[in-house]
Structures are given as structure tokens and as C-alpha cells.
Structure 1
Amino acid sequence: MAVVFLLYVIAEVAAVWAVGSVVGVLGTIGLLIAGAFVGSWLARREGGKAMRAFMATAQSGRNPEKELTDGMLVALGGVLIMLPGFVSDVLGLLFLLPPTRSVARRFWLRRAEKRAIRYANQRRGPVMVVDSEVVAEEPRPKNHPVIEGRIVEG
């Protein structure tokens, strides 16, 4: 994790240096301040949309996983926009714009599903569920290796 942070800091310094050499010191500072203001406005707007969509979905009784993930990604994008630097501004903007946020949402939900299956297998062993009924459950000893499986719902 320390290596990733170090690479991030190096990328930010390089980006500020490159922009500063093209537009000058005052131009660079102006761009950083403008990026923070525009990003915070966009984060507030998209956060409100995500909250309204979450409330509507929850009130209708549907699963709000898409809306909840959108809200999380908008919050992450807002934090990244507020960090000084051009690399964090670009990453934050990617999380704030709906087309790129949908790509990040699909990746995040797929990753969460894999982790949930892995966690379930570690805690109770492989289980197969069909039509909300447990079909097979194999007890496993403490040192038994974890078997990757899928939870099937009808």
C-alpha cells in the first residue's frame, strides 16, 4: 500500500510540474482551484441524484444495490476532487460522470460478489441453494481447503 501511495505522490508532482511548465505557476494554481470548485458542484449534483434514486428504489421495494453503489462512488469521486492535484481530479471526475461510473459500478459489484462467496465458503463451507432451499451442505474440518463455489438462487 505504501508503494501505491508513493507512486500516486510521484504522479501528482509530475502532473503539476508538467502543467506548471506549460501554463505557469498562477495558471496551475487557478486550474487546481477551478477544478476543486467545479468538482464539488458536480459531486453535490450527482450525490443528490444518487440519493433521490436510492430513496425511490427503496420505497418501491426493489434492491437498491445499484443506487447504493452509485452513492458510494460519487462520495469517493467528491473526496478525490477535493484532494489537490490533477491525477486525483481526473480519477474523481471519472467516478462522478455517469457513463464511467457505471463501468466502475459493474467492476465493484462483481468484486463484492466474489468476496461474499469466498467469505461464505470460509465461514460455513460450500453450500448450494436452489429456490431458497439448501440442497447440499457439506460440513468441513478446520484444516479443509476452501472450495470456490457459487450460490444459486431461483
Structure 2
Amino acid sequence: MFFRLFLILLIVPVVEIYLIIKVGQVIGGVATVAILLLMSLTGAWLIRHQGGRVLTQIRDELSQGRLPAAQLLDGALIFIGGVLLTTPGFFTDFLGIFFLVPSTRRFIKLWLGLWLQNKISRGGFVMRRHF
């Protein structure tokens, strides 16, 4: 687990720098910065719009006495998308918007459900306590 996290923290910035340099070579530095800013503003608007909608849905579910599990997962995915959008770069912006758009978020939720089901069926969630 630690090695995977280390690889992600090492590879993602290298990919971001590479993409920014390549895009900057093709369209110029000012246009590259403008696109990155536009992506961040679009992401901020999507976060505000989608996050507000999910909060309303959570409030409605709770007022009806139901557990808002799907809405809480949506909120977590929107949060992850927001964090990715605050990271400068094209790769993380693409992933962030992928997490924020409802139609693509459905695919992520489906994949997470299948992954979780597979983990549970194989006994992959075992709590270990180290004292």
C-alpha cells in the first residue's frame, strides 16, 4: 500500500509537468496558463453546483428517515474531484472533472460497488490491530 502511494505521489507530478510543458510548447505559455485557470474555474463551478445539489439530497433523505448512502458517496466523490481540481495540471484536472460530472460519476460508483463486492466475497476486509 505504501509503495503504491509512493508511486502515485512520484508519477503524478512528473506527468503533470510533462503535459504542461508539451501543451505550452504547442499553444504557448499564456494560453496554457489560461486553460489551466479556466479548468479550475469550471471545476469550482461544478463543485459548487454538484455539491449543493448533493447536500440538498442528503438533507431530504435524512428528513424522511433514510440513510443517504448513495448521496454520501456522491459527496465523497465530489470532494475528491475538488481536491484534484485544486492541483495544477491537465491530468488531475481531467480526473477531477471526471469525478464531478454526474454521468461519469455513475461509472465510478459502479466500479467501486463491484470492487467492494469482490473484496468482501474474498474476505479482503480484515481488521488488524497492532498493539
SS for the counterpart of 1:91 is helix
Structure 2 counterpart of 1:37: 41
Query: What is residue 60 of structure 2 aligned with on the other side?
Result: 56
2:86 alignment partner, one of 63, 79, 82: 82
Which structure 2 residues correspond to residues 98-117 of structure 1 after superposition, within 5 A?
Answer: 98-115=102-119
Secondary structure of 2:28 counterpart: helix
How many correspondences in the alignment?
122
Match of 2:98 among 77, 94, 101: 94
Q: Secondary structure at the match of 1:62?
A: coil
Q: 2:11 aligns with which of 7, 11, 32?
A: 7
Q: Which moved more, 1:73-82 or 1:110-119?
A: 110-119
Residue 108 (structure 1) shift: 2.3
The verdict on how the C-alpha distance between 1:79 and 1:34 changes in structure 2, with shifts beyond 3 A counting, is same
Spell out, residue by residue over 1:78-126, the C-alpha distance to the aligned partner (whole angstroms, 9 max, x if none).
1111110010000000000001101111222343455566377x46xxx
In the aligned structure 1, how far is the partner of 2:13 from the partner of 2:67? 39
Q: What is the rounded CA distance, in whole Å, between the counterparts of 2:124 and 2:90 in structure 1?
A: 37
CA RMSD, 1 decimal: 1.9
> Unmatched 5+ residue regions in structure 1?
124-154
Q: Which has the higher strand share?
A: 1
TM-score under structure 2 length normalisation: 0.82
Query: Which sections of structure 2, spanning at least 5 residues, go unmatched?
Result: none
TM-score by length of 1: 0.71
Q: State the structure with bigger RCO (CA 8 A, min sep 6), 1 or 2.
A: 2
**Would you identify which runs of 4 or more consecutive aligned residues in structure 1 move more than 6 Å?**
none
- Of residues 1-10 and 48-57 in structure 1, the stretch that sits farther from structure 2 once superposed is 1-10
Q: 1:42-63: CA deviations, max 9, x gaps?
A: 1111000111111112222233
Matches within 5 A, 1:8-23: 8-23=12-27
